Amino acid sequence: MKICPNCGHENAADVNFCENCGTPLAPEPASRPETADQKTCPRCQTLNPSDSRFCENCGYDFDAAVQQPEKAKSEQDSPATEPTHAASSATETPAKLASPQKASHHPQASDTPQPAAPRNKKKYNWLISAVILLLLLGGGVYLFYQGQGHTAQKAPSQTAKKATSRSQSSSATTSQSTSKPAVTFGKSAIEDDITATVGPLDGTNSVYVSPVDSHESVLVNNGSQRSASSIKIFILVTAYAMAKEGIFNLDSTHTVTNDEKVGGTGVIQNMAAGTKLTYREVLKHMIDDSDNTGANIMIAKMGGLGLINNKIKSMGATDTKLRRKMMDTAAINDGRDNTTSVRDLGMTLKKIYNHQLVSKSADDEMLSILSQNSNRNKLPKLLPNDQGLKIYNKTGEYADYGVQNDAEIVANQRGAFVAVVLSEDGKESDQVSAMNQLGLKLYQNILEE
């Protein structure tokens, strides 16, 4: 039999490794006869030097074998009336086993049953140590994997959170692109549309087209041209700018007189003298009904041509000049007419739409007025009757000089664009038809899905 020095397991004599823990075992000692300077371990039969206290193979304590008979004798000689002392002696025995001199008096232990107690005790010690070690290792592994599991759980959670965030962001982007995708602005296609519609017209013709949220634009033949009633957009803007500065009150009232009434377009000329209108109402008539009398009232009340021209210039409209009141034919005959350009009108409408001209509230009010214009017979005429479609525009016409103008903002769920056409010295039916076709083509190219 071979006793494992590591775990104390009893193995067969012919095995070289412990059947329990795999520890290498000493060769069978039977082939090695005991000599005078050696002693045989009673537990594993391994030959050890005679002065060794512990077996080199299994760790057997040779001194323990000597002390056990003395301990038994001592306990046998002790009076029965001193059990406490006997128990104390038994408890202190391991400390007293440290005397090396007694080994020389008892070189061998002839009583084989006596070593059984130390052998079993050592075996149990090994087992207890192994159990404790396993518990410690198991606890460490458990804590490690708990930490790993916590991290693993947390990581997916964070990943899921990020994925959810990305999903929500993607959903928001999808929703936004569904409700308001980017407008299409192909310059070549738009130039072709302009060439096909406005190109064949007689006279002087110019066009401006641009998305409201982009610096991109198509500008054809820009220059100063007769504005007709298109100049009223700049009178509107000047009134709201002066109101913001506190030098003009839009809520003040004006009393209509017969002397200020003029012909042409508008409804104020048909109102009874003494009718009271706020300047907001006058401005609304000036745009929605293209009221000439209303325009002249505003020019006079805001300080005249010079002051208004200064305001227009400060807005960056360099081609726009207010040189006469409405229906002042004498001024026209003298060569003084109101002028503007497609660029000035287009840039002004873009600034209003983007709340970059006067203020958000003022720009919104002006957009509201422009959205109620009664004349939609030019650029917007062929646009679909779509509930989501919004149109803001102001026309200008002066048949005596072959003038047909329109400036519009068209918006739907996809976006918005500005288009302006100024045409003079042409034939009205051709001009209006060309604007009808161009307005539709621009809508289809830019805003239609």
Does the pLDDT at position 31 exceed 80? no
User: Is the pTM above the cut of 0.75?
Assistant: no
Q: Which residues sit opposite 394 in a β-bridge?
A: 407
- Residue span(s) of the chain under CATH 3.40.710.10 come to 187-446
Fold for 187-446, please state it.
Answer: Beta-lactamase (3.40.710)
pLDDT category at 33 given cuts 50, 70, 90 is low
The values of phi and psi at residue 66, to 5°, are -75, -40
- Return the C-alpha torsion angle 56, 59, 63, 65, nearest 10: -120
pLDDT of residue 26: 66
Q: Which residues contact 48 (CB under 8 A, 6 or more apart)?
A: 38, 39, 40, 41, 55, 56, 57, 62
Does the pLDDT at position 111 exceed 60? no
What average pLDDT does range 355-368 have in this prediction? 98
Q: Which residues contact 38 (CB under 8 A, 6 or more apart)?
A: 47, 48, 49, 50
pLDDT digits (tens, 9 = 90+) for 343-353: 999 999 999 99
Measured CA to CA, the distance from residue 220 to residue 438 in angstroms comes to: 14
More confident residue, 44 or 218: 218
pLDDT digits (tens, 9 = 90+) for 44-96: 777 777 777 777 777 777 776 555 544 444 444 444 443 333 333 333 333 33
pLDDT digits (tens, 9 = 90+) for 125-168: 666 766 677 777 766 655 555 555 444 444 444 434 333 333 34
Buried b / exposed e along 223-245 (16+ C-beta atoms within 10 A): eebbbbbbbbbbbbbbbbbbbee
Q: Which residues contact 296 (CB under 8 A, 6 or more apart)?
A: 260, 262, 325, 326
